Amino acid sequence: MQELVSVMIPVYNAQDHIRKCLDSLLVQTYENIQIVVVNDGSKDSSGQICEEYAKRDSRVKLINQPNGGEGAARNTGLREADGEYLCFVDADDYVKPDFVEKLYNLQKQNNSGLSICGFTELKGDTVINETHGDIERMNQAEAMEKLLREDSFKGYVWNKMFRMDIIRENKLKFDITLAVWTDVLFVFDYMQHIDSVTFDPTPEYYYIYVENSASHEKNHVLGVAKSYSAVRAKEQMIDRIPAEYTGVRRQICIRFVQSALAVLRNIGYLQNGEKSEYYTGSIAVIKKYYSEIYTYLSQKEKILVKLCLHCPGILMMMYRLKK
pLDDT, tens only, 142-165: 999 999 887 789 899 999 999 999
Q: Worst-scoring range by mean pLDDT, 104-108, 142-146, 289-293?
A: 289-293
pLDDT, tens only, 54-103: 999 999 999 999 999 999 999 999 999 999 999 999 999 999 999 999 99
In 160-306, the DSSP E strands lie at 160-163, 196-208
Q: Residue 221: its pLDDT value, please? A: 61
| Secondary structure class of 92 (helix, strand, coil) | coil
- 230 DSSP 8-state letter: H
pLDDT, tens only, 163-211: 999 999 999 999 999 888 899 999 999 999 999 999 999 999 999 987 6
What b/e sequence results for 81-113 when a residue is b if at least 16 CB atoms lie within 10 Å of its CB, and e otherwise? bebebbbbbbbbbbbbebbbbbbbebbeebebb
The phi-psi region of residue 91 (left if phi > 0; otherwise alpha if psi is between -120 and 50; otherwise beta) is alpha
Is residue 188 within 8 Å of 240, Cβ to Cβ?
yes
- pTM metric for this prediction: 0.89
Q: Residue 299: its pLDDT value, please? A: 93
Q: Residue 272: its pLDDT value, please? A: 65
Given a cut of 60, whether residue 216 has pLDDT beyond it is: no
The phi-psi region of residue 6 (left if phi > 0; otherwise alpha if psi is between -120 and 50; otherwise beta) is beta
Which comes out higher in pLDDT, residue 220 or 18? 18
Number of C-beta neighbours around residue 308 at 10 A: 22
Which comes out higher in pLDDT, residue 223 or 203? 203
Given a cut of 60, whether residue 212 has pLDDT beyond it is: no
Nearest-angstrom CA–CA distance, 148 and 300 = 20
| Secondary structure class of 77 (helix, strand, coil) | helix
Average pLDDT, stretch 280-308? 88
Task: Quickly list DSSP for 108-153.
Answer: HHHT-SEEEEEEEEEETTEEEEE-----EEEEHHHHHHHHT-TTTT
> What proportion of the chain, given as a percentage, has pLDDT over 70?
93
Average per-residue pLDDT for the chain: 90
Q: What is the dihedral of CA 214, 216, 221, 226, to 10 degrees?
A: 60
